Amino acid sequence: MFFKLATAILVISAVIILPNFDGAGAQDATQPLTVETKVRNLSRGENIFQDQINAQPGDRVQIRVRVNAGTAQTGIIVRNGLPARLAFSSGDSGLNNAGGFAAGNMNGGSNQTFTYEAIVTGNEQATIVNTVYVRSNESSERSDSAEIIVTDVAAPAQIQNLVVRNRVMNLTRGETEFQNATSASVGDRLRYEVYIETLGNASQSGVTLRYLIPYGRFVIVSGDPNFILYGLDIASMRPNTSQTVVFEVTLNSGDSDTLNSIARVFSGTVPVKDATATVFVRGGSTFAVKNLVIDAKVMNLSRGEASFKDTTAASAGEKVRFQIKIDALGNAPITNVVLRNPLSSRLSFMGGDLNVTNSSGLGLGTMTGTSKTVMFDAQVGSGVETITNTAIVSGDGVSNASDSAMVTISEVAGTTTAAGQKSVIAVNRSAGQDASKVIARPGDVVAYQFTYRNTSNAAETVRIETDIRDIMELARVSNTGGAVVDNGVIRFPAVSLAPKGEIIQSFEVTVLSASAMGAAQDRIMTVSYGNTSLVQVGASQVAGTSTIQPPRTGASENLVVLLAVLATAGYWFYRRKSRLQLA
């Protein structure tokens, strides 16, 4: 039996001829000098070099050039002028020089192999023909080609942004136009207008609008009270569409004050944006009022844009200009006005007022009912993402104000970085619960966890970073998790991530005491990274008050009791059985 099996194996091995997958020996070895060109798509995980492959814009391909000498050759020159649709990335760069690459001398029957990598660029369907030439002192120029068929055209990058406006007018005083701020006395009737708009080229899901108004100072007299209580939730909004909410209130308290109402909007892909409407309450004849308002815009100078806007598109290496306008409202001076604008790691300062990008900011001195405009330029770095550039202005006796302008990197030169999946969750470690479902109290530790998943077929370098200024108004960072916090932005170390790989990084904060929170406009810690996490913060319980919890009843509670009873009965049954066996 063993002899028959061995004979069968021998016969099979004699008739099977394996194909030559890598092309070695494909050309006639008797030729004095030949060249062979093959290619494979690294982004698609191909292992075999071929004469023809498929690719899409952004794919990384590897080209192999093999020079064969049938007889002795001297002064060999190899050249490969890359087609316009291929951008050299790494490897034997000399092949791409105009004069070619000097490969020296070769003995008869020998060969040399060169490899290099390139990026497929552009967005049009095409067949890219890459031709390699070789010559020597003994042989005239020979050539061979490999083809890259660009069949799948990369979809344009999604551009998504939100605009929110929050304005007010005093109807009692005969005002007919909405504005950022107005004055009022007790009994005055005010009309508010909240406007949101989606910008870009893609729909947005989970658009959420919340309105934070000083409770106890206003009585709603017109409009939907549910908007004040619960906000507005929109399942989906198409690009470049808008919604407007109008309501009216009466001022029912005459104490002198500055009342700020905040409209807060965000979606599943756009982080939180705020807009403030201010009412100066006059309680006396000489009441001083003051407030700061900021507006941030951007335009792409490299593409010839002539007007500033909330969002622009850019490619790596292009130059953008930011404009930041600060208005001091009211009749009282605001001292120590400072403008800060920490730059994203994807932006490099190029010109303008450098101090605005430093941690100390740009001092604007004292402002009274005036406005100032600051502009600076930056160069866009590589990486497919939307950069949110946020400017913050502060002053003595007023709340900080901030606004953002966005730059969407839609094309990246020479990279294959993909826009991965991002998410953030918060856990209240002190309560042992999802932080979005429980009120965080002073002293509670809240952990934020960021997740990034590489959805592409290529490795990429990832740095998780996001704005946590809103969190730091109500909590202090107690554990950075290895990150660096600078000007309210947390940045984790860059990590090399394999295709389809995932990275999770986290940090912790401790909620401040009620007195340390100061006059925060709201008690919600907000952070965005892909999605938006909202954590409500409550003060310590006030003496003399109590919270009454109704008794918990229902199927789940009854089941817990039943399981406890069964466990106890089972235990005593086991003890009794053990005694009987021992007896």
Structural domains of the chain, ranges and CATH numbers in brackets: 23-150 (2.60.40.740), 159-287 (2.60.40.10), 294-413 (2.60.40.740), 416-542 (2.60.40.10)
Task: Let me know: does 536 contact 523? Beta carbons within 8 Å.
Answer: yes
Residue in 361, 370, 383 with CA at minimum distance from that of residue 331: 370
pLDDT score of 442 more than 90: yes
Beta bridge partners of 300: 320
**98 pLDDT above the threshold of 70:** no
**What does the CA dihedral 554, 560, 566, 571 come to, rounded to 10 degrees?**
-160
Alpha carbons 253 and 186: distance in angstroms, whole number: 6
Euclidean distance between CA atoms 82 and 96, whole angstroms = 6
8-state DSSP, 153: P
Q: 286 falls in which pLDDT band (50, 70, 90)?
A: very low
Nearest to 376 by CA among 346, 354, 401: 354
Q: What pTM did the predictor assign? A: 0.41
- Token couple for 159: 């551009």
Count other C-beta atoms under 10 Å from residue 498's C-beta.
Answer: 10
Q: How far apart are CA 343 and CA 549, in angstroms?
A: 48
Q: Which residue has the tokens 């290099």?
A: 116
Residue 567 in tokens: 């466990």
**Which residue, 422, 484, 474, 465, is CA-closest to 446?**
474
> Residue 224 gets which letter from DSSP?
-
Is residue 557 exposed (0-12), middle (13-18) or buried (19+ Cβ within 10 Å)?
Answer: exposed
Under 8 Å between Cβ of 106 and 73: yes
**pLDDT tens per residue, range 147-200:** 999 875 545 556 788 889 999 999 999 999 999 889 888 889 999 999 999 887
Assign 3-state DSSP to the chain and report helix, strand, coil percentages, each to 5: 10, 50, 40
| Eight-class DSSP state of 46 | -
**For 454-469, what is the mean pLDDT?**
83
Bridge partners (DSSP) of residue 448 are 426, 507
DSSP structure string for 424-483: EEEEETTTTEEGGGSPBPTT-EEEEEEEEE--SSS-EEE--EEE-HHHHTTEEEEE-TT-
- Give pLDDT, residue 572: 47
What is the C-alpha to C-alpha distance for residues 232 and 16, in angstroms, rounded to an integer? 71
Q: What is the CA radius of gyration of the chain?
A: 34
Reduced to 3 states (helix: H, G, I; strand: E, B; else coil), residue 225 is helix
On whether the CB atoms of residues 453 and 501 are closer than 8 A, the answer is yes
- Could you tell me the pLDDT band of residue 66, with boundaries at 50, 70 and 90? very high
- Rounded Cα distance between 417 and 520, Å, is 39
Q: What is the 3-state secondary structure (H, E, C) of 326-347?
A: EEEEECCCEEEEEEECCCCCCE
CB atoms within 10 A of CB 226: 9
- Contact at 8 Å (CB) between 508 and 522? no
Length of the chain: 583
Residue 64 phi/psi, 5° resolution? -115, 130
Q: How far apart are CA 309 and CA 296, in angstroms?
A: 8
What are the distances in angstroms from CA 484 to CA 256, 264, 315, 507? 42, 27, 27, 10
Residues 273-308: b if buried by 16+ CB within 10 A, e if exposed: bbbbbbbbbbeeeebebbbbbbbbbbbbeeeebeeb
Q: Is the pLDDT of residue 582 over 80?
A: no
Half-sphere exposure (Cβ direction) of 172: Cα atoms closer than 13 Å: 13
Query: Is residue 563 pLDDT above 60, yes or no?
Result: no
Please tell me the predicted confidence (pLDDT) of residue 94.
Answer: 63
Residue 34: alpha-carbon gap to chain centroid: 50
Which of 374, 357, 375 is CA-nearest to residue 301?
A: 375
Listing from the earlier edge strand, what are the strands of the sheet with 484-486? 465-467, 489-491, 484-486
Here the tokens at position 134 are 């070789």
pLDDT tens per residue, range 372-415: 999 999 988 765 567 888 899 999 988 888 888 888 875 443 33
Instruction: Report which DSSP code applies to 5.
Output: H
For the record, the structure tokens of 366 come out as: 């004292």
Say if CB 484 and CB 491 are below 8 A apart.
Answer: yes
Q: Give the pLDDT score at 450.
A: 93
What is the spatial distance between Cα 332 and Cα 363, in angstroms, rounded to a whole number? 18
Task: Count Cβ atoms below 10 Å from residue 230 Cβ, excluding itself.
Answer: 11
Single-letter amino acid code for the residue at 246:
V
- What is the pLDDT, as a whole number, of residue 228? 84
Q: What is the pLDDT of residues 310-360, one digit of tens each?
A: 888 887 778 899 999 998 887 789 999 999 998 887 788 888 886 777 778
Distance (Å, rounded) from C-alpha 268 to C-alpha 486? 26
Residue with tokens 């500055």: 258
pLDDT of amino acid 156: 58
Are 251 and 186 in contact, with CB atoms under 8 Å apart? yes
What's the mean pLDDT when you consider all of the chain? 79
Under the banding of pLDDT at 50, 70 and 90, the label for residue 496 is confident
Are 295 and 491 a contacting pair, CB within 8 Å?
no
Q: Which helix (H) or strand (E) holds 230?
A: helix 225-230
